[in-house]
Structure 1
Amino acid sequence: MRKYRTHQLMRIILGSLFAGTIISINNLEASADLQIVNGVDTYAKSSQEKDFQSVDAENKKDIAVQVLAINDLHGGLDTTGDVKIGDKNYSKAGTVSRLATYLNQSQSQFKSVTKSNNTFRIEAGDAVGAAPANSTLLAHESTMHALKAMKFKIGTLGNHEFDHGLPEFNRILTGQKPDKIADKLIKNYPHRNSGIEMIVANVVNKKDKAIPYGYQPYTIKTVKQNNQVAKVGIIGIETSTLPSLTLYQNYKDYDVLDEAETIAKYDKILRDKGVNAVIVVAHTGVETKDNQTKGPSVDILNKLNQLDPDNSVGLYVAAHSHQYANAKVGNTHVVQAVYTGKAYDNSWCYINPSTGRFTNIFSHVYPVLSAKDDPNTKPDKDVSAIVKDADKRVNKKVNHVIGYANTNKTITGRLHNSSTMENESGELVADSQLSAAKSADLKPDFAMTNTGGVRADLVVNDKKAITWGAATAVQPFGNILQVVSMSGAQIRQVLNQQYDEDQHYYLQISGLKYTYQKSDNPNQPYEVKDITDSNGHLVDDNKNYRVVINDFLYGGGDNFTAFKDAKLVGAAGTDTDALVKYIQDMTRTAKKVTPPKLDRKVLE
Structure 2
Amino acid sequence: MTIKQTLKLCFLLLIFSCASSKISKIEGERLTIDENINPKTEIENFIKPYREHVNKDMDNVISYAPETYTKSDGELNTAIGNLMADAVYDEGNPVFYKKTGKYIDFVLLNHGGIRSIISKGNVTTRTAYEVMPFENSVVVAAIKGDKVNEMMTYLANAKRAHPVSRQLQLTITADNEVKSATVHKEPIDVTKTYYVATNDYLYNGGDGMTFFKPNDGLTVLDYKIRNVLIDNFKKTDTLHPVRDNRFIKLNF
Scaled by the length of structure 1, the TM-score of the pair is 0.33
Aligned AA for 1:579? L
Query: How far apart, in 2, do the equivalents of 1:483 and 1:466 lie?
Result: 28
Q: Is it true that 1:454 corresponds to 2:114 in the alignment?
A: yes
Answer 1 or 2: which has greater strand percent. Answer: 1
2:105 is aligned to: 445
Q: Is it true that 1:538 corresponds to 2:187 in the alignment?
A: yes
Query: How far apart, in 1, do the equivalents of 2:38 and 2:204 lie?
Result: 38
The answer as to whether partners of 1:437 and 1:483 remain within 8 angstroms in 2 is no
The partner residue of 1:112 within 16, 26, 45 is 26
Q: Is it true that 1:426 corresponds to 2:78 in the alignment?
A: no
Give how far 1:378 is off.
2.5
**Residues 435 and 445 (structure 1 numbering): CA distance in 2 closer, same or farther, change over 3 Å?**
same
Aligned AA for 1:532? T
Residues 18-97 of structure 1: pairs in structure 2 closer than 5 A: none
**Residues 486 and 529 (structure 1 numbering): CA distance in 2 closer, same or farther, change over 3 Å?**
farther
Unaligned runs of 5+ in 1: 1-60, 63-110, 116-375, 520-525
- Report the 3-state secondary structure (helix = DSSP H, G, I; strand = E; otherwise coil) of the residue aligned with 2:141: strand
Aligned length: 216
**Residues 478 and 112 (structure 1 numbering): CA distance in 2 closer, same or farther, change over 3 Å?**
same
1:436 is aligned to: 91
2:240 is aligned to: 594
The partner residue of 1:487 within 144, 147, 158 is 144
Question: After superposition, what is the alpha-carbon deviation per residue over 1:145-167, rounded to whole angstroms, capped at 9, x for unaligned?
Answer: xxxxxxxxxxxxxxxxxxxxxxx
Question: After superposition, what is the alpha-carbon deviation per residue over 1:552-598, rounded to whole angstroms, capped at 9, x for unaligned?
Answer: 001100111112333433122111111111122234xxxx4211333
1:509 is aligned to: 164
- Report the 3-state secondary structure (helix = DSSP H, G, I; strand = E; otherwise coil) of the residue aligned with 1:509: coil
Query: How far apart, in 2, do the equivalents of 1:516 and 1:473 lie?
Result: 32
The partner residue of 2:213 within 559, 564, 589 is 564
Scaled by the length of structure 2, the TM-score of the pair is 0.73
Query: How far apart, in 2, do the equivalents of 1:553 and 1:112 lie?
Result: 46
The answer as to whether partners of 1:437 and 1:443 remain within 8 angstroms in 2 is no
Answer 1 or 2: which has greater helix percent. Answer: 2
Give how far 1:404 is off.
3.5
Q: Is it true that 1:548 corresponds to 2:197 in the alignment?
A: yes
Question: After superposition, what is the alpha-carbon deviation per residue over 1:461-485, rounded to whole angstroms, capped at 9, x for unaligned?
Answer: 1xxx321111221122231100111
The answer as to whether partners of 1:478 and 1:577 remain within 8 angstroms in 2 is no
Query: How far apart, in 2, do the equivalents of 1:517 and 1:419 lie?
Result: 14
1:577 is aligned to: 227
Aligned AA for 2:26? S
2:73 is aligned to: 417
Query: How far apart, in 1, do the equivalents of 2:39 and 2:206 lie?
Result: 36
Q: Over the residues paired in the alignment, what is the CA RMSD in angstroms?
A: 3.2
- Report the 3-state secondary structure (helix = DSSP H, G, I; strand = E; otherwise coil) of the residue aligned with 2:80: helix
- Report the 3-state secondary structure (helix = DSSP H, G, I; strand = E; otherwise coil) of the residue aligned with 1:577: helix
Query: How far apart, in 2, do the equivalents of 1:476 and 1:452 lie?
Result: 12
Whichever of the two has the greater Rg, that structure is 2
- Report the 3-state secondary structure (helix = DSSP H, G, I; strand = E; otherwise coil) of the residue aligned with 1:586: coil
Query: How far apart, in 1, do the equivalents of 2:233 and 2:217 lie?
Result: 27
- Report the 3-state secondary structure (helix = DSSP H, G, I; strand = E; otherwise coil) of the residue aligned with 1:564: coil
Query: How far apart, in 1, do the equivalents of 2:148 and 2:161 lie?
Result: 14
Query: How far apart, in 1, do the equivalents of 2:177 and 2:26 lie?
Result: 59
Query: How far apart, in 2, do the equivalents of 1:112 and 1:528 lie?
Result: 64
2:57 is aligned to: 397
Runs ≥4 in structure 1, deviation > 3 angstroms?
A: 379-383, 388-393, 566-569
Query: How far apart, in 2, do the equivalents of 1:567 and 1:581 lie?
Result: 29
Give how far 1:603 is off.
1.2
